[in-house]
Amino acid sequence: MPELPEVETVRRGLQPVMEGARVLKVEARRPDLRFPLPENFAERLSGRRIVSLGRRAKYLVVSFDCGPLLICHLGMSGSFRIEAAEGTSRPGAFYIDRSRNLQHDHVVFHLASPGARGTTRVVFNDPRRFGFMLFADDPDRHPMLAGLGVEPTGNELGGPLLAGLFRGRKAPLKAALLDQRLIAGLGNIYASEALWRAGLSPRRQACTMAPAAGRSHQRASRLAAAIRSVIADAIEAGGSSLRDHAGADGRPGYFQHSFSVYDREGEACRRPGCSGRIRRIVQAGRSTFYCPACQR
């Protein structure tokens, strides 16, 4: 579920109840997620005021009026939902139904949110427990964040930069796109989608994005543009909803309806004029979907 667009959708949904809120209490209902929660996790958060809710790659970054930042990762199955204070009209559940299964509610933040009477609860639910939370004084120097590559949002990622990142890389393009040290935030779905948009085979070596001597960065530019556009479109649509992902208003994201290749094995390629069928292969242990006819 959560690649960069889904994490950004979650961030936007949580922002109105979290920014400016006072942390009244935190419940850690188990001592560990993927990693042990930090020492005295709940106590260290209580009483602090949340200043901002940001995002870096697939990480949520919570900053406070004092003390270290809180870094949250949703893993594969993590979700947040908001339980509104009585008598207020807060956004509904972030993730529908399944995260209502209280069994996997691992961390509960009790907040005094701006403009809300009573307590607003922000609940982290994660059945597979691949998610994690940690503290960082300086995120740029934290080992988990320091090595992250360029954000695919904004205008930074262009052809020359991408070609430089992929120079000398013999790994297949798909694997290179998943490497968070190069480009940070792409996951298995959007890597396949971006390659389809660019008309490039996931099996091609990443270093072939470099232009021949004296030539333009046409190929790399096309891939960079495809990455930026697929991420932007997915954020715009409120993320995808392969399982039960939902946006800030509690309704599912709709980008799944726009998948061109992901989870479409055997179906017709959607590129106008292409008569190929979508194929599924396994690269680095993970599914890749592509059209062998129009992706070279």
Partner DNA sequence: CCGATTACCTGCACGC
Partner DNA sequence: TGCGTGCAGGTAATCG
| Catalytic sites, residue numbers | 2-3, 58, 286
Binding segment for DNA (CB under 7 A), chosen from 69-77, 108-116, 226-234, 270-278, is: 69-77
**Which residues partner with 82 through β-bridges?**
122
Question: Which residues have CB under 8 Å from 188's CB, separation 6+?
Answer: 3, 178, 262, 286, 287
- Nearest to DNA of 120, 125 (CB atom): 125
Which residue from 162, 189, 156 is spatially nearest to 5, judged by alpha carbons?
189
Nearest to 12 by CA among 55, 51, 48, 49: 55
Write down the least CB distance from residue 272 to DNA, Å: 27
The residue among 2 and 16 lying less far from DNA, judged by its C-beta, is 2
- Using the contact rule CB under 7 A, the part of the chain among 86-94, 172-180, 194-202, 217-225 near DNA is 172-180
38 makes contact with DNA (CB under 7 A): no
Give the nearest distance from C-beta 175 to DNA in angstroms.
Answer: 5
When the beta carbons of 23 and 124 are compared against DNA, the nearer one is: 124
Contacts of 124 (CB under 8 A, 6+ apart): 72, 78, 79, 80, 105, 106, 107, 108, 109, 131, 133
Stretch that binds DNA, among 39-47, 117-125, 127-135, 218-226 (CB under 7 A): 127-135
Nearest-angstrom CA–CA distance, 228 and 176? 16
Nearest Cα residue to 223 out of 180, 171, 177, 184: 177
- Tell me if 178 contacts DNA by CB under 7 A: yes
Q: Does 34 bind DNA (CB under 7 A)?
A: yes
Binding mask 252-281 for DNA (x = CB under 7 A): ------------------------------
Give me the phi and psi of 64, to 5 degrees please.
-125, 170
Question: Is residue 99 at the binding interface for DNA, with CB under 7 A as the rule?
Answer: no
Please tell me whether residue 57 binds DNA under the rule CB under 7 A. yes
Residues with Cβ < 8 Å from 54, sequence gap 6 or more?
11, 60, 61, 62, 63
Which residues here bind DNA, judged by CB under 7 A?
1-3, 6, 34, 57-58, 73, 75-77, 98, 101, 103-104, 127-130, 144, 168-172, 175-176, 178, 180, 186-189, 206, 239-243, 245, 284-287
